[in-house]
Amino acid sequence: MNETPEYPEPSASELLAKYLRWPGVLLPLLGLVTFVLYSGSLSFEFVWDDWPQIVNNPIIRTWSNLPRAFGSDLWYHVARHQVYYRPLFVVWSMLNFTVFGLRSWGWHLGAVLLHVGAVASVFWLARKLGLEYWTAALAALIFALHPIHVEPVAWISAASDTMVAMFVALAFVAFLSGRDPAAQKKTAWRIASWALLMCALLTKEMAVAFTALVAIYAWLNPPDKKASLGQRLREAAIEAAPYALVTLGYVLLRKHALLHSTGQFDTGHGALDVVRTLPLVLAFYLKQLLVPVGLTGLYYTPYVTTAIFKQLIVPAVVLGAVSIGLWYWNRREKDSSVAFAALWLLVGLAPALYLRNFGNGDFVRDRYMYLPSIGFAILAAKGLRLLPSFQRWSAKNVQLGATLALCSFYVMASLSQQVYWGSGFLMLLRGQKLYPGNPNVTVGLSAEYSERGAHEKAIELAQQGVREHPEYVYTLLAMAETNVRAGHYEEGRIWLQRFLAVNPDILKTETGLALVAGLYGQMRDFDRAFGLCDEVLAKEPNLYSALYNCGNIHLMAGQYAQAQQLLSRAVQLVPEDAGPKYYLGRALLADGRNQEAQPYLQAAVALDPKVWDYHYWLAVSLEQSGNIVAARAEYRQALQLNQGSNEAKLRLAALEGK
């Protein structure tokens, strides 16, 4: 009697490992995990630089502006001293605007999907660098989950870092494919690599490090392992030369586009200050990679001029110890990928280490680590795969346990810290808690409190900024804005004049003209306000802030027809914002066109129900149309939001008597 041999049923873990061996299964699963981790960001608002870069950016509103995207700097309408040439990021923004308009969830969806794409490219790069399959998968997983990526994934304006990292990784994959002796279509791979590098360069400046990465890899991995020092140098230079030429072409294009830029350099600190501060900055980044807690977009790391032992010597010793450890690891394993990953980490960060290109204290940003962290992910994955057995635990179980613990920590740290990017106010409160000395935090919070009607708190913060950071000119502007909004017009005028005296260039920019016009309008200095409005609208007729501010100025001056014309255009440009709908409703109401005004006031309340003025003026409109019951409800809602409103109290009392 023949018996069929019995084979044990494979366990669930064995089946999972079998299917995950296919990149077609692994990569979608990695993408799903990444998407779920950051899916909460789809409910986040536009925050911080999103307003000038997206909401108030006239270039992205029509594809006819495509030549302008390649012929000007990223923030041409904000300042004339910018050095940011990122036309492909502008193209991405134009695509988002075409598809989603100004619905923030769609932009956040695009940012998350870019991160998913970058995760897949990291896996491909790791495999091309020779990493074993599971090590490459682990590197991609670490890259996907690491909390230091919260800023570029949860904040739309930092998506350029995600884009440039993806392009750089793909360009390096193409370089390695063209270098592979067994590869077919080597010429096509090389051309693809050059094209992808140009895409990276046109996305963000961090890509200028690519040529150095090619040279380093060629040096570490010469075709002839027995080549002499001179031969290795020559071969590395030859392999890097085409990429240097591509970079040179980018530099020339950039120089032409930024011809009218004045540059953005800190002239108040010399080379010695830079040298003393670099160890602190590098150690700070190292700490954020190893222990990613206390993350914020508002770090404050000013130049090192005192506390030399703590801020210079200790960081230098730590960095030296880490460097020795990496050197020993590379030498013991005789694995050039360790050295290359470590150098990728350093060289990839190098463009962000030119400290004089930043304001004092603004040197550290998590987004600058997005591209370099590919090297860290590879090192972390290789390190986890080297963990030995421990007591009763096999090496495989130790490695799996450590991986689960690390990834669990990353997930919890990412979820708990990305929430602070949900709104500008949350972000600023987080920054104040962690870095109260940051003048950007002080100025930003003063504006937030001022917009919420907490004028005393706003002025107090602005005064604190002037007192603690007299060198930061925007504290003067904060004093002007907070005083004007509080109705202290003479005080506001004095501070505005001080600000313009030290920063006259603001009137050379479109957003600056719109901002100052708005302040003059609130101070009832209509002649100056209208003059600035005419100037900015002649330069940029589709600038949202100009239409919005100048429409309000005409409303305050009693010129209702002009106000309606400008505010109607603002509503068309940004239909998702409550402000222009509210003021357009006010203008129509004041012009005796209540029936037309009411839908705009209702839309403003629906978009932002937390603003008491919106409820108050909707109640006035409803009262005029004879809808007394609805008017009472709106007056009550206005009083719930602002109990000190005497107007709402009087009107409600009058209605209650009817």
pLDDT digits (tens, 9 = 90+) for 572-604: 988 888 999 999 999 999 999 999 999 999 999
Which alpha helices (DSSP H) does 258-290 contain, by range?
A: 271-290
Higher pLDDT, 378 or 511: 378
Q: Is the pLDDT of residue 542 over 50?
A: yes
Q: CA dist 80 to 29, 67, 354, 442, Å?
A: 45, 19, 20, 24
Stretch 539-565: mean pLDDT: 93
Q: Is the pTM of this model over 0.85?
A: yes
Instruction: Read off the pLDDT of each residue in 509-520 and give the average, rounded to a whole number.
Output: 93
DSSP sequence for 204-222:
-GGGGGHHHHHHHHHHHS-
Q: What is the pLDDT of residue 11?
A: 56
Nearest-10 crossing angle of helices 510-522, 526-539: 160
Q: Round the average pLDDT of the chain to a whole number and report it.
A: 90
The phi and psi torsions of 204 (rounded to 5 degrees) equal -160, 155
Q: What is the pLDDT of residues 99-109, one digit of tens each?
A: 999 999 999 99
Exposure string for 247-264, b = 16+ CB within 10 A, e = fewer: beebeebbeebbeebeee
What single-letter DSSP state applies at residue 79? -
Compute the average pLDDT of residues 104-130. Answer: 96
Could you read off the pLDDT of 403-439 as tens digits, one per residue? 999 999 999 999 999 999 999 999 999 999 999 999 9
Residue 267 has pLDDT above 70, yes or no: no
Q: Is the pLDDT of residue 263 over 80?
A: no
Query: Quick one: which of 653, 650, 656, 596 has its CA closest to 621?
Result: 596
Please check the confidence at residue 19 and state whether its pLDDT lies above 80.
Answer: no
- Beta-bridged to residue 509, according to DSSP, are none
List of long-range contacts for 127-132, beta carbons under 8 Å, 24+ apart: 128/172, 128/173, 128/176, 128/177, 129/176, 129/337, 129/340, 129/378, 130/337, 131/337, 131/378, 131/381, 131/382, 132/385
* Average pLDDT estimate for 487-499: 95
Q: What is the pLDDT of residue 15?
A: 59
Percent of the chain with pLDDT over 90: 68
Q: Look at residue 638 in the predicted model and tell me its pLDDT.
A: 87
Residue 381 pLDDT > 80: yes
Residue 78 pLDDT grade (very low, low, confident, very high; cuts 50, 70, 90):
low
**pLDDT, mean of residues 5-11:** 55
Beta carbons of 420 and 430 less than 8 angstroms apart: yes
Q: What's the pLDDT tens digit per position in 142-188?
A: 999 999 999 999 999 999 999 999 999 999 999 999 998 877 888 99
For the record, the structure tokens of 132 come out as 């074993």
Residue with tokens 């873990």, as numbered in its chain: 13
- Above 80 in pLDDT, residue 481? yes
Task: Between 525 and 357, name the one with better pLDDT.
Answer: 525
Q: Tell me the mean pLDDT in the region 304-310.
A: 89
Using an 8 Å Cβ cutoff, are 201 and 70 in contact?
no
CA distance 23 to 507: 55
Number of helices (H) and strands (E) in the chain: give both, helices first: 32, 0
Q: What Å distances lie between residue 205 and 35, 53, 171, 208, 211, CA to CA?
A: 27, 17, 15, 6, 13
Is residue 633 within 8 A of residue 653, CB to CB? The reply is no
pLDDT-based confidence at residue 1 (cuts at 50, 70, 90): very low
Please say if the pLDDT value at position 4 is more than 70. Answer: no
Give one DSSP letter per residue of 364-402, joined into a string. Answer: --GGGGTTTHHHHHHHHHHHHHT---BTTB-HHHHHHHH
pLDDT score of 471 more than 90: no
Contact 577, 607 (CB under 8 A): yes
CATH architecture of 577-658: Alpha Horseshoe (1.25)
User: What are the domain boundaries of the chain?
Assistant: 20-421, 577-658
The CA–CA distances, whole Å, from 70 to 51, 171, 254 equal: 21, 21, 9
Distance CA 246, CA 96 (A): 28
Closest CA to 277 of 301, 304, 300: 304
Tell me, what's the pLDDT at 56?
Answer: 87
Residues 6+ apart with CB under 8 A from 446: 458, 459, 461, 462, 465, 478, 481, 482
Q: What string of H, E and C letters represents the secondary structure of 530-560?
A: HHHHHHHHHHCCCCHHHHHHHHHHHHHCCCH
CB atoms within 10 A of CB 650: 11
Q: pLDDT-based confidence at 363, cuts 50/70/90?
A: very high
**Residue 97's pLDDT is what?**
93
Identify the CA nearest to 96 among candidates 8, 195, 163.
163
pLDDT tens digits for range 210-247 = 999 999 999 999 887 777 888 889 999 999 999 999 99
